[in-house]
Amino acid sequence: MKNLGMQDAADFVLSLAQQHQCSADVIVDSGEQLSLKSEAGALSEYKVTSSQTLGVRLIKDDRIATSFTEALDEESLRNLMAMTLESLPYMAQEPAEKIDGEPTYFEANPVLCPDDHTDEALKIDMALKLQGDIAERGAKAPYNGYSNSYSQRLYVNTQGSVCHEAGRRFSCYTSALIEKGDKNAMALHFQTSRYFADLNAEHVIATAYQKAENLLEGGPIATGKYDVIFEVGCLSELFSAFFMAFSGESARKGVNPWRNLVGQQVASNTLTLRDLPDVKGGMAQRYWDGEGNPTQALTLIEKGQLNTLLHNTKTARALNATANGSAARGPRGGLGVTHNHLVIDNGTQSLAEVNAGQWLEIVELQGLHSGADAISGDFSFGASGFLMQDNRIVQAVRGITVSGNFYQMLQQIVAVGDSQERSDDHCFFSPKVRFENLNIAG
């Protein structure tokens, strides 16, 4: 059977929902991706994929049911709605979850989806280079690849909202595995951009190789307490591991340790953290959220004080708070919350001041999923990095464990630099932040 277009399929599902006196919203995702990998100087993977998924959320008598389908023909959509309507009376009541408010309209921003006329041969050449140039340096590149993707999302609801977004991204990555005698070290680096021309394979290769080479002679250091600066990507991973602290959804469920601390001091007064929907050079731009509401620039922590949690309309109603455009919902799931770009404000200290004395730079963390307790804040991760003295490498460090408590750590900031850095995925922006007295087991 012939599939309907995204808009026609969404409208068809909404019409069926309205026939049954349900409020509803529909999300349709569509995407295409090219993925290339190489091995021994030749392509080991050439994969072109495409996907489309429609998800519906029905609400009636305070009961919510969600379901999805990858087939957008009328018969499949009727079957989807029949199953969803059949399950609706058995679902738990959620009086705080509603689809209401004024209709919103968003057109896709063309800046996020530039045309791509790159010759495919150039993409293949890059994929081969990511492995071949590492091999020429006498190392192995067990993980390498190039990809480009195009995605669309459509949101509609029974209030009349129609929101569309489209995006394009290009990325490349490689690893360098260096082996010398009984020693080995591996490092990985990647880049992402909205333009193929912005990818710099030479920089990715050189960075991965240099990092692995620097770590090769690394070993443990004496167990003790050290000042620590996390490389910006590692700092991003840390904040992601403890995202629950900013979640209105986890507060609604009673498991957010900061649920009763809005308006109170939770960090050093040198820390200001923002959630921004649009950042120059960022890759997490969103102009509307998972409920079709406009996203907002939020100050989550201002000079150490917790200003707000991330709320959708459900968590805001349940907690007597204000919704702030932070809803997350995809076609396959229910309503949650999310952030956009996380940005830590610059401090006032120069690089020399931040780097003064002895400290430990952490450039790799292992065990992020198993080593973090988001409720208590306790963490223990395997780590690699460099013992530093006044911005000079004293020795490479491997085989150590860094541990502490994330919520206490935010109060142990002794320096914040005056210049921004960004994570490789362009979603986390921060100056250098120095934390004192973290536990290092060598």
pLDDT digits (tens, 9 = 90+) for 183-242: 999 999 999 999 999 999 999 999 999 999 999 999 999 999 999 999 999 999 999 999
Residue type, 220: P
pLDDT for position 3: 86
* Cα separation, 204 vs 118, whole angstroms: 20
pLDDT for position 414: 97
Cα-based distances in Å from 50 to 109, 121, 270, 330: 22, 21, 46, 17
pLDDT for position 428: 97
Query: Which residues sit opposite 42 in a β-bridge?
Result: 39
Residue with tokens 């050290």: 226
In tens, the pLDDT along 325-338 reads 999 999 999 999 99
Q: Residue 226's closest CA among 378, 346, 397, 423?
A: 397
Whether 158 has a pLDDT exceeding 80, the answer reads yes
* Cα separation, 330 vs 22, whole angstroms: 20
pLDDT for position 220: 92
pLDDT for position 221: 94
pLDDT for position 442: 84
Q: How far apart are the first and last CA of the chain?
A: 63
> Percentage of the chain with pLDDT > 90?
97
Alpha-carbon dihedral 246, 249, 255, 261, rounded to 10 degrees: 40
pLDDT for position 369: 81
pLDDT for position 165: 97
Grade residue 253 by pLDDT with cuts at 50, 70 and 90: very high
Specify whether the backbone of 431 is left (phi greater than 0), alpha (psi in -120 to 50) or beta: beta
* Cα separation, 31 vs 289, whole angstroms: 19
Grade residue 391 by pLDDT with cuts at 50, 70 and 90: confident
Grade residue 2 by pLDDT with cuts at 50, 70 and 90: confident
Whether 368 has a pLDDT exceeding 90, the answer reads no
Work out the average pLDDT over 247-262: 97
> Percentage of the chain with pLDDT > 70?
100
6-213 CATH pick, 2.20.28.90, 3.50.50.60, 3.30.2290.10, 3.60.21.10: 3.30.2290.10
* Cα separation, 208 vs 195, whole angstroms: 22
Cα-based distances in Å from 355 to 40, 218, 432: 42, 21, 9
Contact 76, 53 (CB under 8 A): no
Grade residue 289 by pLDDT with cuts at 50, 70 and 90: very high
In the chain, residues under CATH classification 3.30.2290.10 are: 6-213
Work out the average pLDDT over 99-111: 94
* Cα separation, 268 vs 262, whole angstroms: 15
Q: What is the CA radius of gyration of the chain?
A: 24
Grade residue 70 by pLDDT with cuts at 50, 70 and 90: very high
pLDDT for position 285: 95
Instruction: Evaluate if pTM is beyond 0.75.
Output: yes
Grade residue 353 by pLDDT with cuts at 50, 70 and 90: very high
Grade residue 144 by pLDDT with cuts at 50, 70 and 90: very high
Cα-based distances in Å from 101 to 187, 203, 291, 314, 321: 49, 48, 10, 13, 16
Backbone angles phi, psi at 202, to 5 degrees: -60, -40
> To 10 degrees, what angle do helices 74-87 and 6-19 make?
40
Contact 387, 221 (CB under 8 A): yes
For residue 185, give both structure tokens: 């070290």
Residue with tokens 């840390």: 238
Whether 61 has a pLDDT exceeding 90, the answer reads yes
Whether 1 has a pLDDT exceeding 90, the answer reads no
pLDDT for position 44: 97
Order of all β-strands in the sheet with 273-276: 305-306, 298-302, 273-276, 341-344, 428-430, 421-422
Specify whether the backbone of 243 is left (phi greater than 0), alpha (psi in -120 to 50) or beta: alpha
pLDDT for position 54: 98
